[in-house]
């Protein structure tokens, strides 16, 4: 298999972000083969999101979004029946250029996608992160919880971790992954949280009038 053609793992509800950990349970036969090959090789799995309508052709090759994220297997447990429990750590974004049908599991030719950092982005990121921390604190307080955020957490870990773990729709998470830079992702996170806060308030006001 040429080095430029690599396995991809499509799922309908999972988006992986750089430097974030993701637990996976692998049960489908073709993807057990993929994991076995990865463990004997570079230990990399490239995650992609399935597009809407995948149910009708899942056993084949339903369409996927072209931007995904590579992950390295940091923990692997093979169960007696051949299934796997894995933990991935996100590495870098990639773009699918073409697919190859040479294996049971899906293969694609990819290229790396670097996140850009323009002059002034660090200052903008500090301001966007401060806004994000405030919005998150308000959301947690409204839900009756308390914030355990660490201001020592690096910006990339903080922003990407929230993008992956907050309760957003998969399509919203895909849009966050496709942001060109970390500051753009942080800004988009703020917009999503602000919209959800407005929607929650509208629902609360409507319910109180019923």
Question: What confidence tens digit (pLDDT) does each residue in 107-118 have?
Answer: 999 999 999 887
Per-residue pLDDT tens for 28-39? 999 999 999 999
Comparing 17-26, 147-156, 199-208, which segment has the lowest mean pLDDT? 199-208
At residue 81 the predicted structure's pLDDT band, cuts being 50, 70 and 90, is very high
For the chain, the residue count is 210
pLDDT at 146 over 70: no
Instruction: Write down the pTM of the prediction.
Output: 0.88
pLDDT at 145 over 70: no
Q: What is the DSSP letter of 60?
A: S
Residues of the chain with CATH 2.30.130.40: 5-113
Q: How far is CA 147 from CA 142, 160, 187, in A?
A: 11, 17, 20
CATH of 5-113, one of 2.40.10.230, 1.10.760.10, 1.10.1200.10, 2.30.130.40: 2.30.130.40
């Amino acid at each position: 298999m040429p080095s430029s053609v690599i396995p991809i793992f499509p799922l309908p509800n999972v988006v992986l972000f750089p430097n974030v950990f993701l637990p996976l349970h692998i049960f489908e036969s073709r993807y057990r083969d993929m994991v076995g090959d990865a463990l004997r090789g570079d230990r990399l799995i490239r995650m992609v999101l399935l597009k809407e309508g995948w149910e009708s052709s899942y056993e084949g090759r339903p369409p996927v979004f072209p931007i995904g994220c590579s992950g390295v297997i940091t923990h692997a447990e093979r169960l007696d029946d051949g299934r796997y429990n894995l933990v991935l750590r996100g590495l870098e974004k990639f773009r699918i250029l073409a697919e190859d049908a040479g294996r049971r599991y899906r293969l694609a030719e990819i290229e790396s996608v670097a996140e850009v950092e323009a002059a002034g982005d660090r200052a903008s990121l500090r301001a966007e992160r401060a806004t994000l921390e405030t919005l998150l604190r308000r959301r947690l307080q409204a839900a009756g919880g308390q914030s355990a955020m660490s201001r020592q957490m690096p910006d990339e870990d903080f922003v990407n971790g929230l993008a992956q773990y907050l309760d957003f729709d998969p399509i919203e998470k895909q849009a966050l992954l496709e942001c060109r830079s970390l500051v753009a992702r942080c800004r988009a996170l703020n917009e999503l949280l602000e919209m959800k806060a407005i929607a929650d308030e509208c629902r609360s006001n409507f319910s109180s009038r019923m």
